[in-house]
Structure 1
């Protein structure tokens, strides 16, 4: 089979190579999946660069979430051949491949309401949004939610989940094209970080109160702006640092303004509370069936375009989700 592999650390476009490798075989407790769609995530780029918290042995295949079809069961594994499932494969054998093995106990049923590419994009980003907004920040109907990078993969999920919860959503984006996407997603107010005074605009939009909840996958200047426009007893959810800058929080400022800084590492729920992952998925499946949430898939690219897709996500020039579809014909990116 073919699989994209990283042999050296560097920029994705330079270090990802499409190799011919042996077909994997499902071991005890595992499922063999035919990969139907792989969602591109920012951590895929960090893995290529060697900047992620996990450093798999080389050569490794990136691709941290996918929608696949069960084709074989290992000894003791439960599942139904032909079923569509969502999976987070264990590195070094990630999802940018034609086939992959996964732990049968960790797969989730793919929602019937979503196609393969949409389903592949529902898992990590939406689970992160749900846990961040509901379990960590306690988002309530009527709250004002400020979402940084609102037109991106992680941000777009938070916008939809915030609207589903009855929040008023302010989206921050970079550029008019992304502003248009944020409006289409349902943001009540859209701010362009390239020209708008974010702090002043948030205060104006909230009558001086500020945002009750901030969802920040960016870090850097985005975090610095957030602490200046957070409401009394507001909650800032730190999701990641796409800017490449990890901010240094001034805890005396958090004390004086009575706001909370909350970290969100979704993967730890797999370790400490795995049942909550399935409960969240059940809720997301209901929202998808209702049409309340629907992953914004801006591009579906063939297998040959995976390295370029990861690079463009890393460069921040994409909107929504870019999904690699191994069965898509060459030259049919859309």
Structure 2
């Protein structure tokens, strides 16, 4: 089989398409013939040794897949060869086959394609956990979504609307703004590119406040970080919840006096750890997502697919923050 391997610390140019022996399932494992692998920001970080986990090299990035069960190991009774799957695996998805623990796999509905299946769980799983468990979002509240045209951003727009919130989407271009309007955002604002000086930061805070209204935002969903974080926090409402999701623009330093003045919470969102610590709660969220998917209230927006040999190009586009919605690598036919 072929795998796109990280053999040294670095960017996508360090990945090498390599021939490897086919894997065999250990007891409790299944071997998946990978059909599609979605690319997410952790794939940018993991090959640079900047992610929470650092697998030993060589390894293939790619934490979100869809495919077909090829074989099952001893003790596996819930899965059979030929079953269609989707799910998250941490890393290893940019390979034609992979042996995995099936606990984070779900059945791909027969009417859904492998590309669709590869694009759902990580972004929507992160976001439903963030909005409901960490943000306690309620119908009628106002939600600000930063980086709203990315994978998790569009998931937050769609789920915010599904949960009855007024959603303000913040993006960096008109093209991205249009994607958010199509996803159902009630209002869209276009912000400038960081870095910001003091006056520019204040101007952005005023822009956020104007879009949020007099009471400010009940929940702010921030998968961006950097210089965007403080202006957003300044627009939060009384007892609002600021959700820290990611840092592609850099790790911010927030003035904590703002949390006192607004009596607000700053909440970390680590969906992978949540899913590992409370798998039954995560499974309940995924079941909720499948219902919303079936009802047409959410749908992964895959804007570009890449052939397997160009998987590194997909990671490079993600690193450059050029993606709208989801990027998916088609690993095999």
Range with bigger deviation, 157-166 or 200-209: 200-209
Matches for 1:198-213 after TM superposition, within 5 Å: 198-213=204-219
Runs of 4 or more, structure 1, over 6 Å off, are: none
Contact 1:191/1:198, CA 8 A, preserved across alignment: no
1: CA distance between counterparts of 2:90 and 2:128? 23
Gaps of 5+ in 2: 194-199
Equivalent residue number for residue 35 of structure 2: 36
Separation in structure 2 between the aligned mates of residue 87 and residue 68 of structure 1, nearest angstrom: 9
Q: 1:122-201 counterparts in 2 under 5 A?
A: 122-194=120-192, 197-201=203-207
Alignment partner, residue 226 of structure 1: 232
Contact 2:69 2:83 in 1 (8 A): yes
- Offset, 1:293: 0.3
Higher mean alpha-carbon deviation, 136-145 vs 205-214, is at 205-214
In structure 2, distance between residues paired with 1:159 and 1:16:
33
TM-score by length of 2: 0.94
Cα offsets for 1:30-62 (capped at 9, x unmatched): 011111110001111111111112111111111
Q: SS of 1:49's equivalent?
A: coil
CA–CA distance in structure 2, aligned partners of residues 315 and 183 of structure 1 = 23
Q: CA deviation at 1:250?
A: 2.3
* Shift of residue 206, structure 1, vs aligned partner: 3.5
Matching residue of 2:69: 70
State which drifts further: 268-277 or 144-153: 268-277
Compute the displacement of 1:90 (Å). 5.0
Rounded to whole Å, the distance in 1 between the matches of 2:90 and 2:324 is 27
| Structure 1 Cα separation of the partners of residues 44 and 34 of structure 2 | 20
Q: TM-score normalized by structure 1?
A: 0.93
Query: Where do 5+ consecutive residues of structure 1 fail to align?
Result: 329-334
Tell me by how many angstroms 1:310 deviates.
0.6
Q: Distance in 2 between matches of 1:114 and 1:169?
A: 28
What's 1:88 paired with? Answer: 88
Deviation of 1:24 (Å):
0.7
How far has the Cα of 1:182 moved from its partner? 1.3
How many pairs are equivalent?
Answer: 324
Cα deviation, 1:61-103, whole Å, max 9, x if unaligned, reads 1101111211111010121221111232254xx1001111110
1:65–1:120 Cα contact (<8 Å) kept: yes
1:105 matched to 2:103: yes
In the aligned structure 2, how far is the partner of 1:230 from the partner of 1:113? 41
Mapped to 1, the partners of 2:298 and 2:289 lie a distance apart of 8
Map of 2:298 onto structure 1:
293
Q: How far is 1:188 from its partner?
A: 1.1
Q: Corresponding residue for 1:332?
A: none
